[in-house]
Amino acid sequence: MQDLKQVIFDILSDGMTPPQRDQLDNPLTAFPRPDYLKRLAQRIQTLEEENNRLRHQAERDPLTGLRNRAAFTRDLHDCIERAIHPSDTPNSHYLSLVSLDIDHFKYVNDTFGHPAGDIVLEVVARTMERSIRATDRAYRVGGEEFTIILPGANDTTADRISEQIRKNIENTQLRHIKHNITASLGTFCVDFRFFPNYYQTEPLQTDDLHQILYTEADNALYTSKTTGRNRVTLLSDDAVQPVQVI
């Protein structure tokens, strides 16, 4: 392993020409000097800013700007952990998950072209973001598939937010696209004070709970799509039958 001072020297001299590097004092004898420390602080700040930019880029869908599936997986795990170990905040033991699918999206692409489809995706994403609370997060997890995590939302709150999203999308007017945009939503609400008791297995791990929440929200979405579309189906944990998680 390189000596720490040599590593710092390499950072400070990054981008210098060989003659410029030669003009630097030997870091083993001259460090620390104020000009070294200032340069080091600037370099660290630059690296932090670049890391933050890359992290943001890696977690975002480039078309809509929403967080992507990787961010969704991580965030849902974190929200489950917080619901299992709730704070003193009211309803912090609740967690709701919404699955959303744009109705007849293939028709939009086939009829009006993929650029029009991209516009629809962007508009739906913006509509979702302005329809949810500051504590909620929206994600694009597939082509026309979205999810929303609603921390601390009981069934009443989750149903109200889901219905607001649906109405706002339905009321959206798009120029040059003669098609009414609608969406189907499936919402699953969990009270983590009781939810694990529905599963007769060994103590569930966060990965198991992630799988269950996503599957149940998707099941609710399927009900909305097969019973007419442009609607919300709410499913709460007391309606879920015990299952064996493998």
Closest-CA residue to 224 (of 120, 138, 100): 100
Coil/strand/helix, residue 204? coil
E strands present in the chain? 94-102, 137-140, 145-151, 183-191, 232-236
Instruction: Say if residues 55 and 71 touch (Cβ distance below 8 Å).
Output: no
DSSP 60: B
Burial string for 80-98 (b: 16+ CB within 10 Å, else e) reads bebbbebeeeeeebbbbbb
Contact in structure between 98 and 187 (CB atoms under 8 Å): yes
CA torsion sign for 86, 91, 94, 99 is negative
144 in catalytic set: yes
**Length of the chain measured in residues:** 246
User: Which residue is catalytic, options 144, 163, 202, 216?
Assistant: 144
Strands of the 183-191 sheet, one edge to the other: 137-140, 145-151, 94-102, 183-191, 232-236
Tokens of 202: 């060994």
Q: Cβ neighbours of residue 116 under 8 Å, at least 6 residues apart?
A: 108, 109, 176, 177
| Contact indicator for 91, 153 with CB cutoff of 8 Å | yes
Residues designated as active site? 144
